[in-house]
């Protein structure tokens, strides 16, 4: 091998991973923190764009929130408005599902639709990137499913898909059976898990339940006040999980774990490879993750399901990136 080829290989090995972030940020939630973590890790990830999907909040609200966070971080990354509702699931259906732990955007009526550009932008980006793109999907999978429906050939251009969603061996957090992102749009999650995307990595509740956000961690972040930690203080102190209202409250790191994986994958201490599918029959198990021993559809790829974490390691990374003083 000549020196030029060797050098090109070394540069490629060290260059940041080119990613698209598909997200549903509320006013300042785990999605926003995942954005902060990625923006503040330029040696690991280069963000080509951000797309908003309906989930925690309706998509126009999420897009505005992502823009606000990026502006605070001094970034002019493009933010595209994506799917404004799931493929099939509706607010009216969710109201027939009995008591839910969390209904996200379905708690309020959907605002009027606006022009969506996210799916078009994702397709264009996947087409033009010669080495493909990594997708960090931390909301319901509607946008990703719509890309795959329109252009199944582009599955091959997804270098890896890192998902926050699903619950393989543990109960749900939206309904008893289902995790919120999969529950909000089960049909989309099913399309994605049945696709031929070469590498799927899942941060579901199995691993997220192990990384508990305590008041002590919260206090250690808000001790250092910056424009970002002020937003964090208001949101996590007064909103969910509400550390100011209840000192014993706890939350979890969800989207932050998926983002952390792109920055320091060594915090994952146990995983397994399984085929997965999603329950799409409307009823109490709507949106549940189904582990399988065989592919759910011809050509479906298996998923690396993350199961356990070095909690101190990932919490230290979370705290360090959140409390950084420069953007």
The least CB distance from residue 143 to ligand RIB, in Å, is 14
* b/e sequence 264-281, b meaning 16+ C-beta within 10 Å: eeebbeebeebbbbbbbe
Distance CA 206, CA 307 (A): 6
**Of residues 138 and 262, the one with the C-beta less far from Ca ion:** 138
Candidates 133, 123, 188, 137; CA nearest to 160 is 133
304 neighbors 273 (Cβ within 8 angstroms)? yes
**Of residues 164 and 189, the one with the C-beta less far from ligand RIB:** 164
Q: Does 104 bind Ca ion (CB under 5 A)?
A: no
The least CB distance from residue 61 to Ca ion, in Å, is 13
Name which of ligand RIB, Ca ion, none residue 279 binds, using a CB cut-off of 5 to 8 Å depending on partner kind: none
196 neighbors 299 (Cβ within 8 angstroms)? yes
**Of residues 56 and 195, the one with the C-beta less far from ligand RIB:** 56
**Of residues 17 and 30, the one with the C-beta less far from ligand RIB:** 30
**Of residues 30 and 206, the one with the C-beta less far from ligand RIB:** 30
215 neighbors 222 (Cβ within 8 angstroms)? no
Tokens representing 240?
Answer: 């969910």
Q: Applying CB under 5 A, which of residues 20, 35, 138, 260 lies at the interface with Ca ion?
A: 138
**Of residues 49 and 62, the one with the C-beta less far from ligand RIB:** 62
Q: Which residue of this chain has its Cβ atom nearest to ligand RIB in the complex?
A: 180
Total residues in contact with Ca ion, by rule CB under 5 A: 5
The beta strands (E) that lie in 24-156 are given as 45-52, 79-81, 133-137
Q: Applying CB under 5 A, which of residues 17, 22, 31, 279 lies at the interface with Ca ion?
A: 31
Tokens representing 47?
Answer: 């963000």
The least CB distance from residue 189 to ligand RIB, in Å, is 12
Q: Which residues are near ligand RIB by CB under 6 A?
A: 29-31, 56, 104, 138-139, 164, 173, 179-181, 254-255
Q: Does 256 bind Ca ion (CB under 5 A)?
A: no
Name which of Ca ion, ligand RIB, none residue 22 binds, using a CB cut-off of 5 to 8 Å depending on partner kind: none
Q: Applying CB under 5 A, which of residues 82, 86, 139, 172 lies at the interface with Ca ion?
A: 139
Radius of gyration of the chain (CA): 19
Tokens representing 31?
Answer: 């999605």
220: burial class by Cβ within 10 Å (0-12, 13-18, 19+)? middle
Footprint of Ca ion (CB under 5 A) = 24, 31, 138-139, 255
């Amino acid at each position: 091998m000549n020196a030029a080829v060797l050098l090109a290989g070394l540069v490629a090995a060290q260059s940041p991973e080119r990613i698209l972030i598909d997200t549903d940020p509320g006013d300042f939630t785990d999605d926003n923190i995942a954005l902060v973590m990625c923006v503040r890790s330029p040696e690991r990830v280069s963000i080509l764009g951000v797309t908003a999907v309906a989930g925690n909040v309706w998509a126009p609200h999420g897009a505005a929130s992502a823009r606000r966070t990026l502006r605070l971080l001094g970034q002019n990354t493009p933010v595209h408005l994506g799917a404004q509702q799931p493929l099939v699931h509706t607010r009216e259906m969710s109201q027939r599902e009995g008591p839910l732990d969390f209904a996200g955007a379905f708690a309020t009526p959907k605002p009027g639709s606006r022009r969506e550009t996210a799916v078009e932008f994702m397709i264009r980006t996947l087409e033009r990137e010669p080495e493909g793109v990594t997708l960090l999907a931390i909301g319901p999978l509607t946008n990703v499913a719509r890309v795959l429906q329109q252009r199944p050939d582009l599955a091959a251009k997804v270098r890896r898909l890192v998902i926050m969603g699903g619950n393989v061996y543990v109960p749900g957090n939206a309904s008893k059976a289902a995790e919120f992102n999969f529950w909000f749009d089960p049909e989309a999650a099913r399309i994605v898990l049945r696709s031929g995307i070469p590498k799927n990595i899942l941060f579901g509740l199995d691993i997220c339940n192990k990384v508990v956000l305590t008041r002590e961690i919260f206090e250690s972040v808000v001790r250092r006040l910056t424009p970002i930690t002020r937003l964090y203080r208001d949101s996590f102190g007064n909103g969910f999980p509400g550390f100011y209202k209840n000192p014993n409250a706890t939350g979890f790191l969800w989207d932050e774990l998926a983002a952390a994986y792109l920055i320091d994958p060594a915090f994952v201490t146990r995983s397994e490879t399984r085929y997965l599918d999603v329950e799409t029959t409307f009823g109490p198990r709507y949106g549940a993750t189904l582990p399988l021993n065989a592919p759910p559809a011809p050509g479906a790829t298996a998923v690396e399901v993350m199961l356990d974490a070095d909690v101190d390691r990932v919490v230290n990374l979370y705290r360090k990136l959140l409390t950084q003083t420069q953007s």
